[in-house]
Amino acid sequence: MDYALRIVVEKVASSSQEVIKRDTITNYALQCPTSIGELGLGHAEQIALLEKVQNILLAEQSLLLNPGITVCPTCGNTLKKNGYKASKFHAVFSDHTVRIQQHSCRQPACGWHSTPTITSLFGTNIHPDLAIVHCEQGALYSYREAKKNLETWNGHPRRVNNHTHVKRMTDKVGAVLAEHNGLSPAPEEGAAPAQDLIIQVDGGHIPIQEKDKRSFEALATMVYRPEQIQAVDAHHRQIREKTCVISARDDQ
């Protein structure tokens, strides 16, 4: 006799355990594996299964999302339902579209209506776990390397994991940390203001590692005080203390 495994999600009443709704996620035929690759679920299959479970959970949670407004904030009349707003949500391994109930004022002359989104309700449409991954990857690797790492984990490219999003998230968290550190005890007093400074700026193009990609322009700046120039011998001098900064602008 042949068998298959059926994965089902049930919505049940907590008090009576009555099954209110039953959704079949997928079916797996039970067959003897002929190789290690057929043992269990593959990478893409695991991601797909998780995505399907997330979709069902999000569909149920979306019914409970309520902006907390019962009357029109403009005229005070009661509100009525006005369709749904499709909103994007990005989990750690999958992307989803959440349908959120919209409302509008019952008074036609008022015209007020709400179009809630995941971002307007929660401040972001990226799950905190994904934001942590972006920051960790952005701190340890270049943004383009981070993008490749995330694609490897997911098994396919995702727009939310591109190098621009990783950079934005890393910069955003970095700005919060910088502000937090600014509230710490005052740092030690810095050096006295300089009477004169020497600034040297040079620029050039740096080749990029990716194939068929243009090089990018970079500017290097060196700043130091004149008194930091020290003679080594009759023909050479050295700068004892200096500050160097390099800045690059990516065309994309």
Q: How far is CA 214 from CA 120, 234, 246, 252, in A?
A: 38, 44, 19, 10
Tens digit of each residue's pLDDT, the chain (252 residues)? 789 999 999 999 999 999 999 999 999 999 999 999 999 999 999 999 999 999 999 999 999 987 777 888 888 888 888 889 999 999 999 999 999 999 999 888 888 888 899 999 999 999 999 999 999 999 999 999 999 999 999 989 999 999 999 999 999 888 888 888 875 545 555 667 888 999 999 998 888 777 777 788 889 999 999 999 999 998 999 999 999 998 887 654
First to last CA, the chain: 59
Region of 120 on the Ramachandran plot (φ > 0 left; ψ -120 to 50 alpha; else beta): alpha
Assessment of whether the complete model's pTM goes beyond 0.75: no
Residue with tokens 């981070």: 146
Residue with tokens 């005229």: 75
